[in-house]
Structure 1
Amino acid sequence: MVTSPEFLSAATLRAALLADREQALTRLYRQAFPLVRRHVCGHGGTAEDAQDVFHDALVILYEQAVGGQLTLIASASTYLLGIGRNLWRHEQRRRARLPQDALPDDPSALEAEAAPETDETRFAVLDYVEQLGARCKNILLAFYYFQQPLTQIAADHDYRSVRSATVQKFKCLERLRNSVRRAFRSETIDY
């Protein structure tokens, strides 16, 4: 079997991709995929991982070649191997950050463990915020919900300094915490 010649220049590769994309990509696949597969499988990956990495590398090469941004100093298959190595390294780092044993096999199990907050608890907190009064409610909502800077809150509420607005926000937050604590204690103590 005679192997097809290697793409040695970016211009040749670009011309081949524009003339007959399918044939050019097939040639690249035959030339470079075994190299990428050998690298990925030799570094802890599977054949499926190698295919994913190679396809991503091929897309990058294709976009650069057709866009005229590709500069080859080696063959196209060597370039694809380099891209594949980098992509596989990134994938390994990403996988290392995710604890595999912590994730259940069934995605619906994540939803069951999450214990979403109910409308009841959400409205209970809003009730406590309402009990604080308009000024505290506005300050806390502006800071925590609308994420406004304290300089803006100080100006909107006519405080002389940012420090005064910070102190008032802290006092309002403490009032909210205390009212929630009192309510929680009464619920847990009452039989």
Structure 2
Amino acid sequence: METSASLRHALLTQREPTLTRIYQRTFPLVRRYVQQHGGSASDAKDVFQDALIVFYEKAAAESFVLSSSVSTYLLGIVRNLWRRELNRRSQLPLTDLSEEHAQHMAEEAEPAADGRDSLPVLDYVAQLGERCQNLLLAFYYFQQPLEQIAGRLNYGSIRSATVQKFKCLERLRKSVRTAVAHAVAH
């Protein structure tokens, strides 16, 4: 078990390798926990990223005291974040698409009239997972302020929401670039 001081020093001087080591050691536990409690592997990735941000912010503070293993501490954060996420999901209204809206969506999904396949960005947003999808749509489509998004999606701080938004956007850009490169190659 690492001491609080040695962990803080490793995070401040060698952040990337330290976080990578923590990720490799802890993520399988997180994925198993989230999947056993109604989530997907994508949900596990999202909640683990949030937990890592919370952990990093706490561990970098002088007053941080680690009284368990890093994995145990992180799993505790994940449990709290996942419980909040499940509560949030249970409060979302379940609505069906109207027939007119469903027809409109189907028409938009059809290939372009000139024979080229289109690359609908919303398909790629949907592949990111529900948490990223909610965050990006709230910020870019509904133009909600980050303060409101952070509160609604249970982020620890506005900074956490900003970091997560950036990560989600980067994942979206990467998947679109890959699809475009694949479409151009074929």
TM-score, structure 2 normalization = 0.50
Deviations, residues 100-144 of structure 1 (Å, cap 9, x unaligned): x31649xxx6xxxxxxxxxxxxxxxxxxxxxxxxxxxxxxxxxxx
- How has the CA–CA distance of structure 1 residues 80 and 102 changed in structure 2, closer, same or farther, with 3 Å as cutoff? same
Alignment of 1:111-126 (within 5 A): none
1:58 has 2:52 as partner: yes
Task: Give CA deviations for 1:51-105 in whole Å, capped at 9, x if unaligned.
Answer: 0110000001101111223221101111000000110000000000002x31649
Q: CA deviation at 1:11?
A: 1.1
- Answering whether residue 65 of structure 2 is matched by residue 71 of structure 1, we say yes
1:25 partner letter: L
**Gaps (5+ residues) in structure 2?**
102-186
Match of 2:9 in 1: 15
Match for residue 91 of structure 2?
Answer: 97
**Aligned partner of 1:76: which letter?**
V
**Relative contact order (C-alpha < 8 Å, sep 6+): which is higher?**
2
Deviation at 1:10, TM superposition (A): 1.4
State the alpha-carbon separation in 1 of the partners of residues 70 and 77 from structure 2.
10
Which of 27, 37, 42 is 1:33 aligned to? 27
Looking at structure 1, the residues matched to 96 and 54 of structure 2 have their Cα atoms a distance apart, in angstroms, of 31
Letter in 2 for 1:102: T
8 Å Cα contact 1:9-1:75 kept in structure 2: no
Residues 71, 104 of structure 1: CA spacing in aligned structure 2 closer, same or farther, 3 A cutoff?
A: farther
In the alignment, the residues of structure 2 paired with residue 104 and residue 52 of structure 1 have an alpha-carbon distance, to the nearest angstrom, of 26
Residue type matched to 2:34 in 1? V
So what's the TM-score if we normalise by structure 1?
0.49
Residue 102 of structure 1 aligns to a residue in which SS? coil
Alignment coverage as a number of residue pairs: 99
Q: Which sections of structure 1, spanning at least 5 residues, go unmatched?
A: 1-6, 110-191
The Cα of 1:9 is off from its aligned counterpart by 1.8
1:146-187 per-residue CA deviation (whole Å, 9 max, x = no partner) reads xxxxxxxxxxxxxxxxxxxxxxxxxxxxxxxxxxxxxxxxxx
Q: Distance in 2 between matches of 1:104 and 1:27?
A: 44
- Between the aligned partners of 1:43 and 1:104, the Cα distance in structure 2 is 27
Distance verdict in 2 for CA 1:45–1:71, change over 3 Å: same
Where 1:60 maps in the other structure, the secondary structure is helix
CA distance in 1, matches of 2:91, 2:23: 31
